[in-house]
Structure 1
């Protein structure tokens, strides 16, 4: 298996017996450890109205992470553009890029990352929330960075302080938009593994070179939990499986302990859902993860593999990342 660049996607998980502040401090420790391992980039994701996720304000979290590290790229995986006026995003990330030049990534998503009621609370009106609004708002965001807003509005900071811009997606739509604009593309394989191959093919087949990117460039984001044995990895992954089942049923909770997750009865449908979510992901001993990674990389040939390790304990999370990196590129 050829070496591949490994990056990290983190959700700042809030433990059942902890606070958001403790979750964010753990994420800071995780970013610092990722930098020690030589990880290329560390992204946090925007979610709202979810008690188990503390990264609702990516720009704020990234300011802290960038100041707490020195080399690793930090970014959003992603900022959900329907939730924000493009000018505000441009100014926030222009500020970050001005403070930490060459280290900021702005990953943009077109879903709200929450339920529609919360999405309306974020925007306070329906404008910008429709799927057909995304291309217009993305164009406006890029225009603010490049000083081409048709109304002459200047993002300051923002203009001439453009972070590395990424488009995120879990379907063919975002893949085609990224290709047309000549942007790098990150695919959420951990969310929609059944769409990965088709979306990447659409992106590569339709890619148009841009001033910032001459050739297609892709990230595939996968769930990854690695431990000394398959059984231990399954134990560590149980809180993640429970969290997804709770989210799917409309009752998201803070991240349970492995013991709490093991004691949760769950319905047959929830157990089947958890098993389906493991398809094509990385979970098990180093030997198991190495074989799974080889299969995933052969099928998708990404430029980077981004791993999301949703594990309750920060020490186990760090060890999982180290073992995953060694299994993939060892």
Structure 2
């Protein structure tokens, strides 16, 4: 996929982690997701993905396959999918049947984004998978091969699963994307002809090289005839640069807490600004800001357009975490206006 000549043609999408803010509940977070999805659909965002994380008080999105159905039911136009399903946590047949069911109910709108990380700590991963034998990440290519075979109905000869049919029958497979924050998934997605989504918000440094490798390794498939990739970026947009930077203070604190193993709800701006950070922590915050885009609509239009051009993509998936749901809504509204995505979506 090549970069577009005009930033007006840049597609924007949403990655929603269903963040839990201090003073609120997981139920509030999931209801906020449905509210944000309706807004994003009206504003012209291209797709809406739900994350899979476990055993954390910060994020309420533990069952993206459930939320996909709800989001697709309250929206009309956007593609809806997982960002992603952590395949090592699930049996490939179960994933295939879940997403064929979603595709049957919402035809032409479902994406299956797949990751190979557990989305949690090792003990929780063990509890999810129910077997120590299933904790090997090296099994991911084999799991993925089985999943794709359940979608196509074509297993290699003498494969033990070749007589198993993923139901419901007569349903097209969803779009399949691999998620990654390194070059492993980039190469594999290219070799299999799948879409590739790079998680810049997790690990920004390898982004450009991974996207280049994906394009180099790409081979056409029944899913995509040519490379399709986009980048997930963390963004906070506000009327001016200073306010956007201030609204990012809870993210600064949350990232520090994650490294320290402290999984607490997202702090308020006032709580985050009141923390007496050490010199080492302030340096960590400065480093973490490399994975976060903040600014006014004008600032972010310029920065994100330049970033997309450098990455060679025509779509960015925006994840925004603020303590206030109203501020999160406003951030997506301002971005949509800056990039005029409503006009692009209805063309």
TM-score, normalised with respect to structure 1: 0.96
Which stretch has the larger CA shift, 153-162 or 106-115? 153-162
* Partner of residue 103, structure 2: 97
Contact kept in structure 2, 1:147 and 1:160, CA below 8 Å:
no
* Partner of residue 314, structure 1: 325
Rounded Cα–Cα distance in structure 2 between residues aligned with 1:197 and 1:169: 12
Rounded Cα–Cα distance in structure 1 between residues aligned with 2:115 and 2:86: 5
Deviation string, structure 1 residues 25-57 (Cα, Å, up to 9, x no partner):
001000000001011100111000111111100
Q: Does residue 270 of structure 1 match 2:281?
A: yes
Rounded Cα–Cα distance in structure 1 between residues aligned with 2:128 and 2:75: 30
Rounded Cα–Cα distance in structure 2 between residues aligned with 1:293 and 1:324: 10
Distance 1:280 1:124, change over 3 A: closer
Distance 1:277 1:58, change over 3 A: same
Contact kept in structure 2, 1:281 and 1:292, CA below 8 Å:
no
Q: Secondary structure at the match of 1:279?
A: helix
Q: 1:175 aligns with which of 186, 200, 203?
A: 186
Structure 1 unaligned segments of length 5 or more: list them.
Answer: none
In the TM superposition, what is the alpha-carbon distance from 1:129 to its structure 2 partner? 2.4
Distance 1:46 1:211, change over 3 A: same
In the TM superposition, what is the alpha-carbon distance from 1:221 to its structure 2 partner? 0.8
Rounded Cα–Cα distance in structure 1 between residues aligned with 2:283 and 2:310: 25
* Partner of residue 30, structure 1: 36
Deviation string, structure 1 residues 121-161 (Cα, Å, up to 9, x no partner):
10011233212100000011111111124321111137744
Q: Does residue 121 of structure 1 match 2:127?
A: yes
Rounded Cα–Cα distance in structure 2 between residues aligned with 1:324 and 1:279: 19
Q: Does residue 148 of structure 1 match 2:154?
A: yes
Q: Secondary structure at the match of 2:256?
A: helix
Rounded Cα–Cα distance in structure 2 between residues aligned with 1:82 and 1:45: 15
Rounded Cα–Cα distance in structure 1 between residues aligned with 2:96 and 2:123: 25
The higher-RCO structure (CA 8 Å, 6+ apart) is 2
TM-score, normalised with respect to structure 2: 0.91
Q: Does residue 135 of structure 1 match 2:141?
A: yes
Contact kept in structure 2, 1:4 and 1:329, CA below 8 Å:
no
In the TM superposition, what is the alpha-carbon distance from 1:88 to its structure 2 partner? 1.2
Q: 1:230 aligns with which of 230, 234, 241?
A: 241
Which stretch has the larger CA shift, 73-82 or 227-236? 227-236
Rounded Cα–Cα distance in structure 2 between residues aligned with 1:72 and 1:287: 25
In the TM superposition, what is the alpha-carbon distance from 1:326 to its structure 2 partner? 2.9
* Partner of residue 47, structure 1: 53
Q: Secondary structure at the match of 1:52?
A: coil
Which stretch has the larger CA shift, 64-73 or 23-32? 64-73
Contact kept in structure 1, 2:232 and 2:317, CA below 8 Å:
yes
In the TM superposition, what is the alpha-carbon distance from 1:222 to its structure 2 partner? 0.6
Deviation string, structure 1 residues 52-96 (Cα, Å, up to 9, x no partner):
111100111111111111221111000000111111111111111
Contact kept in structure 2, 1:293 and 1:328, CA below 8 Å:
no
Distance 1:120 1:280, change over 3 A: closer
Deviation string, structure 1 residues 149-187 (Cα, Å, up to 9, x no partner):
432111113774411111110000000000000011000
Rounded Cα–Cα distance in structure 2 between residues aligned with 1:306 and 1:226: 14
Which stretch has the larger CA shift, 59-68 or 32-41? 59-68
Contact kept in structure 1, 2:211 and 2:311, CA below 8 Å:
yes
Distance 1:240 1:281, change over 3 A: closer
Q: 2:92 aligns with which of 77, 86, 97?
A: 86
